[in-house]
Amino acid sequence: MMNPEQLLKERVQRVRDAVSLKEPDRVPITPFTDVFFPALQSGMTHKEAMYKGRRYSNASLKVFSRYDWDLYPSLLFPGLGKLSDILGVRTMKWPGAADPEFRLGDNQPYQIIEKAWIEAEEYDELLKDPTGYLLRTLVPDQNTVLNPFKKFPQLAYLAMMFSGFNFMFFFLDKDVKKMIKSFKKALRRMIGSVLGMRKYNKTMKKRGNPVAGQFALAQAPFDMVSDTLRGMRGAMIDMFRNPEELKALCELLVTPMLEGMDTSALSFGNPDEDTITLSFIPLHRGADGFMSNKQFEEFYWPTLTKLMDGMIKKDIIPMPFFEGRYTDRLDFLAEFAKTHKGKMVYWFHDTDIIKVKEMMGDYVCIRGNVPASLLVGGPPNAVEEYVKKCIEGCMEGGGYLVDGGVSGIPNEAKHENVQAMTDAVHKYGWYRK
Amino acid sequence: MDFINEIVELNENKVLESVKQKLQNNEDPLKIMDDVKEAMKIIGEKFTNKEYFLPDLIMSGEILKQIFDTISPNLKESYMSKEKKGKVLLGTVFGDIHDIGKDIVKFMLDVNGFEVLDLGVDVPSDKFIKYIKEFKPKVLALSGFLTLTYDSMKEIIGKLKEAGLRDRVKIMIGGGTVDERTVEYVGADAYGQSAVDAVNIATKWMEV
């Protein structure tokens, strides 16, 4: 029987091998879960999961430890609900929100509100001074408490003599003082949350369970424009009316996102040698049907590949999640994989992964794709059959990680189906024993 | 034909110029709308053939809106109500506020001549029941992106059975995580992977 330390090392190595296209001893199972899965398994409501940080954290520890996995999900930000209340978040609706306009039912997950926060007419100003513009318009619009940033001075003004004094004037404003008070409150909460996550990581590690790196969430630049700046409708109309501005904006977002990953990595205290940093990049508008290959090639793919290339240079493993179907895009995906052999994970939802394996299995590790309908609806023997088929089709030469198809394990998944998925890997996944 | 082509090619500026020109020449607005309708039909076909995609549909909708605004918003009524193939009741089920998939299905059903009543998002089960009684659709189309919608759909269909209405409608479902296995789980009749599937399924059911 291995001690937890050995177990941890063995599991991490197994995943590393698979990612770098070497055959480990067994196909790794590395589920992400939808954030509410551990809560629902423990009889908590969605609201409780968002407001009772400690309970949620303990529930996650307990639920995940039931399964013999090789890499474990990281924790949802503990106390996300309260923190969002304090900041006056306007970009999502969530259960238990203090403001009824943004409140969902206690048993609903949080959901993002998608709309055009920035109009097409604002492109010029935004492109001229992105930091200033986002600070003075987007951030205050999206978070009520940060509203006083609307008054933040133009930076050129600070170039006058006594720049420090001039800068201080902003903070004398009555509303700004009030904001700082809320800010302190939020910060205290946030520190608590981060400490909670570190504690979770540490406890998991002590049990021999490596946790996927927390900070490494990223987005395709086009999706950022579509989700949080122009809205999908706006971004798609821009393809016709403002194509150059749209492309310039996507381009502009790459470097800040790479730098942002450094900042958040520091606060969570990873990565370290016992962590594997898979950068989860959930893709939204790149799927088949959302745009043509021509539009994909012009607007979506160039800045996404630039971002992934930048991550690889920082030793981060990009893991784009190809949600929906990407059958029409496989040539693009294969071409990029060929030039970044063994440095990425491609995670698929509704694309035929056995076909993907044939096409690009020599270059990139594939992850997926047990359907949500099976993990929710079962029965367990159907789950087993599905996992077996995936393993047989994808295991050769390493380069395969087992996980669910939609954000890993869906919130409403049943324990017996998740167990069946886990058991199937331990039954059929061996290269050598 | 040129005007129809301008719309199909999504040439916004030219289309609006042409509309103004036609109005100045005292062309019958209804005749203009017939051309517009023809163009939207072609755009729908191009979407079916994978020549056009979501951005093109959105842009065509944007152009259509401006044409209505230029001619007369009142025309929308007559444009919408001509020779319909059959009634479809549509909505994203309760618990879920996603609307992209549902809106594409609505667009495609619209341009293919169905009369669609869209109940929006996060629609409670009783509202579906109410409109099945009042609107009397032949097809009920349920959309859901989140996995919690499996149980919402199940509940809606369960309530239909209780109310003795299940046999009145054929039910198709669709959405991000929905697949053929979900059909059985929730007790629907069919699943569509795309908006084109939705049109094909509805067309088949209307013929029966």
At residue A1, does pLDDT exceed 80? Answer: no
Does A41 touch chain B if contact means CB atoms closer than 8 Å?
Answer: no
Residue where one domain finishes, among candidates B37, B63, B80? B80
CB nearest A232 (choices: B95, B100, B184): B100
A347: Cβ contacts below 8 Å, ≥ 6 apart:
A319, A320, A321, A322, A366, A367, A368, A369, A403
Residues of chain A with pLDDT > 90, as a percent, come to 78
Domain CATH for B169? 3.40.50.280
pLDDT per position as a tens digit, A332-376 = 999 999 999 999 999 999 999 999 999 999 999 999 999 999 999
Residue where one domain finishes, among candidates B80, B112, B141? B80
Do B39 and B91 fall within a single domain? no
Q: Would you place residue A395 in the very low, low, confident or very high pLDDT band (cuts 50, 70, 90)?
A: very high
| Mean pLDDT, rounded, for A155-160 | 73
Q: Which of residues 85-104 of B touch A (CB under 8 A)?
A: 95-98, 100
Largest Cα–Cα separation, chain B? 59
CB pairs under 8 A between A and B: 86
Do B21 and B65 fall within a single domain? yes
At residue A265, does pLDDT exceed 80? Answer: no
Beta carbons of A373 and B177 less than 8 Å apart:
yes
Q: Can you tell me the distance from the alpha carbon of B196 to that of A247, in angstroms, rounded to the nearest whole number?
A: 30
Do B31 and B109 fall within a single domain? no
The shortest C-alpha distance from A354 to chain B (Å) reads: 19
Do B16 and B36 fall within a single domain? yes
Could you list the beta-strand ranges (E) of A328-399.
Answer: 345-348, 365-370
Predicted confidence at residue B80, as pLDDT, reads 58
Do B99 and B55 fall within a single domain? no
Does A116 touch chain B if contact means CB atoms closer than 8 Å?
Answer: no
Beta carbons of B10 and A240 less than 8 Å apart:
yes
Does B10 touch chain A if contact means CB atoms closer than 8 Å?
Answer: yes
Most confident of A347-356, B45-54, B100-109: A347-356
Do B63 and B131 fall within a single domain? no
Does A239 touch chain B if contact means CB atoms closer than 8 Å?
Answer: yes
Residue where one domain finishes, among candidates B80, B101, B130? B80
Domain CATH for B11? 1.10.1240.10
B50: Cβ contacts below 8 Å, ≥ 6 apart:
A292, A328
Do B103 and B177 fall within a single domain? yes
Q: Which of residues 53-112 of A touch B (CB under 8 A)?
A: 93, 105, 107-109, 111
User: Which chain B positions have a beta carbon within 8 Å of A291's beta carbon?
Assistant: 53-55
The shortest C-alpha distance from A307 to chain B (Å) reads: 24
Kindly list the domain boundaries of chain A, sorted by start residue.
4-32+212-428
Do B103 and B63 fall within a single domain? no
Do B110 and B68 fall within a single domain? no
Quickly name the fold that domain A4-32+212-428 has: TIM Barrel (3.20.20)
Do B41 and B97 fall within a single domain? no
Do B73 and B139 fall within a single domain? no
Do B131 and B170 fall within a single domain? yes
- Which long-range CB contacts under 8 A does B66-70 form with residues at least 24 apart? B66/B12, B66/B15, B66/B16, B67/B15, B67/B16, B67/B19, B67/B32, B67/B36, B70/B16, B70/B19, B70/B20, B70/B23
Q: What is the ipTM of this complex?
A: 0.88
Number of domains forming the structure of chain B: 2
Q: Can you tell me the distance from the alpha carbon of A300 to that of A286, in angstroms, rounded to the nearest whole number?
A: 7
| Mean pLDDT, rounded, for B51-80 | 82
Beta carbons of B62 and A374 less than 8 Å apart:
no
Domain that holds residue B75: 2-80
A315: Cβ contacts below 8 Å, ≥ 6 apart:
A277
The shortest C-alpha distance from B97 to chain A (Å) reads: 7
Residue in A closest to B151 by C-alpha: A412
Could you list the beta-strand ranges (E) of chain B.
Answer: 87-92, 115-118, 139-143, 170-174, 190-191
The shortest C-alpha distance from B77 to chain A (Å) reads: 24
CB nearest B177 (choices: A111, A292, A406): A406
